[in-house]
Amino acid sequence: MKLEPWVRRALQKERVRRKIPLEVKMLNKNYYLYHSTSKYDRASGRSKKVSHYIGRLTPTGVIEKKRELYAAWEYGNSELIYGVSSDLLDALRKSFFDRWRELYALSVTRLLGWSPMQYARDRWEKLHLARVVDAHLSPNILGDVLREVGRDPRSQVQFFRSLPSGGNQVAVGLSSTRSDIAGIAEEWHSVEHSPRVPPMNFVLVHSLETGLPLFMKQIPDPVIDFKSMMPALEEARFSGTVVLGRGAWSCQPTEALSSRTNFLLPLSRSVQGVDYARKLDVHFTYRDRGVRATSYQEGKCRVYLFEDLKDHAEEATALIRQIREGRRSADAYRESEPAFGKIAVITNLRSDPEQLYHLYKQREDLLEAFDSMRRWPEVDRTILRDEEAVAGYFFISFLSLYLYYRVLALIRRADLLGKLSVNELLLRLSKVYEIQASGRSMLSNVPDEVERLDESLGTGLFRRDPWSAVTPIRKARETS
């Protein structure tokens, strides 16, 4: 084939630039550039010419073929999380105008797993949410983000007050970071010859009616007791019934609490004066476990005794085993038997024992995640170099805890508790992707198990027409 002069010049130019064998083919008076090579054909026993199309050759250069762009993002879990985030996002926008995007993104990545915070950007960019909320999560700025939040308690309080009301019954968790966060921070400061970071203590207020965390406050007191939580309740502007933990007992707590609010306070067995031998005359069940109860007046308050029959048997068995092994004396059984399986609760309420027991057990269930929150920072020791960063870290953990219980509420509403965990649900939903190919977006195939979950939860995450793609979450696309 005789080539026009400009075609020969263009072909020579491309051979020099690309440094690969090239050839030109003409079709319908147009010239097309190909990468020309060969490969051995075993069937024929000789080389075979192979050409790969590059693009159309013109006097001004090569118009290369359009490369098919392909990208995929986790859509199912993104859609669910974003769907339960509206009140959280509204409160963040009001309180942290410049940093709400980063705070939200960090809370979502924390919800989805335990990977170190320095990898948060990698985890975030795999989510479809990253296309909706433009958050900057460079590892170089994460420490600054945490410190900005940690040193701004006023904005934190504004955020907490912007959340929906949690009713008039709350559980209060009291926790010290003396053995967790402070140890990490002190380790870093000892290396850098900086001042020692003091232990940090936190109060978490959790609604027993909505199941959502409401408020968190750092407190300076090294000893965590009932007095420590009062400023947090006052700052949260709460009035109602407070359910505390056993660690909240100290000298005469009822004098302070009974004058301010209603309370329910479990007592440690080390507290003197509790009549564990009293006859139990009320019977009910809790989660298929038999419970016996009674109550008696103690000054201005009332003491309720509860005995879990299964716990009674387990404690008795454990003590008998210790006696047989010689670790305890035979008299220990007689002394301990009245308290086997029993919990003493003091309160200024007069109520049905079964209702009070449910309140007490609700607190245990709700605050389990708070204990796990204390352990997380061990994997992020490179970022938690000072007290402000630690305070910011705990605020992020509060946000992820809020999202966790929002998702858990969906599971509870669908009557799937005990059959499906929050982590399992988010993992299953992550199997559905938004796929972008050739300039078009669509959803990947929705597995049958995921579709059934979506129907059971009543969330309507996926449309029938896959090419309608991501419409629900894009209705709220962030454009600022």
Q: Are residues 126 and 162 in the same domain?
A: yes
Is residue 463 assigned to a domain? yes
Is residue 260 assigned to a domain? no
* Cα angle for residues 78, 84, 85 (degrees, 5° grid): 85
Alpha carbon 377 to its chain's center = 14
Which residue(s) pair with 38 in the sheet?
A: 49
Cβ contacts of residue 203 below 8 Å, gap of 6+?
172, 173, 174, 175, 215, 216, 217, 219, 228, 229, 232
The confidence score (pLDDT) of residue 89 equals 96
363 and 245 Cβ atoms separated by less than 8 Å = yes
Q: Are residues 83 and 115 in the same domain?
A: yes
Q: At 445, list the tokens.
A: 């195939």
Burial of 206 (0-12, 13-18, 19+ CB in 10 A): buried
163 C-beta neighbours (distance < 10 Å), count: 19
Q: Which of 7, 35, 88 is nearest to 403 (CA)?
A: 88
Q: Are residues 437 and 474 in the same domain?
A: yes
The confidence score (pLDDT) of residue 348 equals 83
What's the rounded Cα separation, in Å, for the pair 160 and 156? 6
Could you tell me where the beta strands, DSSP code E, fall in 314-386?
342-347
The confidence score (pLDDT) of residue 239 equals 67
Q: Are residues 23 and 86 in the same domain?
A: no
Of 45, 64, 83, which residue sits at a domain end?
64
Is residue 116 assigned to a domain? yes
Edge-to-edge strand order for the sheet containing 241-243? 213-219, 201-207, 169-176, 241-243, 262-267, 342-347, 301-308, 289-298, 282-286
Rg (CA), the chain: 32
DSSP 3-state of 297: strand
Among the residues of 325-367, which ranges form H helices? 331-336, 353-366
What is the full per-residue pLDDT of the chain (480 aa) written as tens digits? 678 889 889 988 988 888 888 998 888 788 888 888 887 777 777 787 878 888 888 888 888 766 556 789 999 999 999 999 999 999 999 999 989 999 999 999 989 987 788 889 999 999 999 988 989 998 888 989 999 999 999 999 999 999 988 777 777 776 655 544 444 344 434 434 333 334 567 778 888 888 888 888 877 654 455 666 667 777 766 666 777 776 555 545 555 554 567 788 888 888 888 999 999 999 999 988 999 999 999 888 899 999 999 999 999 999 999 999 999 988 999 999 999 999 999 888 888 999 899 888 877 766 666 666 555 555 677 777 788 888 898 899 899 989 999 998 999 899 997 788 899 999 999 999 998 876 678 888 899 999 999 999 999 898 644 434 444 444 444 434
Q: Are residues 44 and 107 in the same domain?
A: no
Is residue 241 assigned to a domain? no
What's the rounded Cα separation, in Å, for the pair 102 and 120? 10
What's the rounded Cα separation, in Å, for the pair 260 and 239? 8
Q: Are residues 472 and 455 in the same domain?
A: yes
The confidence score (pLDDT) of residue 32 equals 87
What's the rounded Cα separation, in Å, for the pair 225 and 12? 84
Q: Are residues 158 and 105 in the same domain?
A: yes
Is residue 210 assigned to a domain? no
What's the rounded Cα separation, in Å, for the pair 463 and 139? 36
Q: Are residues 57 and 73 in the same domain?
A: no
| Structural domains counted in the chain | 2
Is residue 107 assigned to a domain? yes
Rounded alpha-carbon distances, angstroms, from residue 411 to 424, 450, 452:
11, 14, 13
Range(s) of the domain holding residue 94:
67-167+386-480
Q: Are residues 41 and 91 in the same domain?
A: no
Of 64, 83, 103, which residue sits at a domain end?
64
Q: Are residues 476 and 456 in the same domain?
A: yes
Could you say which DSSP state residue 93 is in?
A: H
Q: What pTM value is reported for the model? A: 0.70
Residues 110, 114, 117, 120, Cα dihedral to 10°: -60
The DSSP bridge pattern shows strands 201-207 and 169-176 to be antiparallel
Burial of 89 (0-12, 13-18, 19+ CB in 10 A): middle
Is residue 421 assigned to a domain? yes
What's the rounded Cα separation, in Å, for the pair 51 and 39? 10
The residue assigned the tokens 């994460």 is 142
Q: Are residues 17 and 80 in the same domain?
A: no
